Amino acid sequence: MVYCIHLRSEVLNNLAWQLATSAAPAARDGQRAVQLATRACELTRHESPMFIGTLAAAYAEAGQFTEAAAAGECAIALAATMNETNIIQRNRELLELYRAGKPFHESTVPK
């Protein structure tokens, strides 16, 4: 049962990331990405910094930059408790975009 929940949350997270960050504008759907990322976070009890980072990207694509920044900060804080340095750094880079009112797209390289 736990394996099924984990697999489902991974699938939801991956789809949400694609809908939020695809290089192809026609493939993006911020509102749907928020729904899927929210569900993935719920399934993992908001204990996955990677999934919370996806939720942040989804919020940004949906134009909800305040929520995107808050989720990005949460992902960083949670990753710090787990010593996940790669996730911390990536979310710091993305957080700069969200604070500037910009979503991340795969063709976009954060500075």
Q: Which tokens in the block code for residue 103?
A: 């979503």
pLDDT per residue as tens digits for the range 9-65: 999 999 999 999 999 999 999 999 999 999 999 999 999 999 999 999 999 999 999
Task: Tell whether domain 2-99 is in CATH 1.25.40.
Answer: yes
Residues sharing a CB contact under 8 Å with residue 76, sequence separation 6 or more, in sequence order: 49, 87, 88, 91, 92, 95
DSSP 26-70: GG--HHHHHHHHHHHHHHTTT--HHHHHHHHHHHHHTT-HHHHHH
Taking the domains of the chain in order of start, what are their residue ranges? 2-99
Cα gap 4→51, rounded to integer Å: 17
User: Closest by alpha carbon to 34, among 50, 49, 12?
Assistant: 12
* Predicted structure pTM score: 0.91
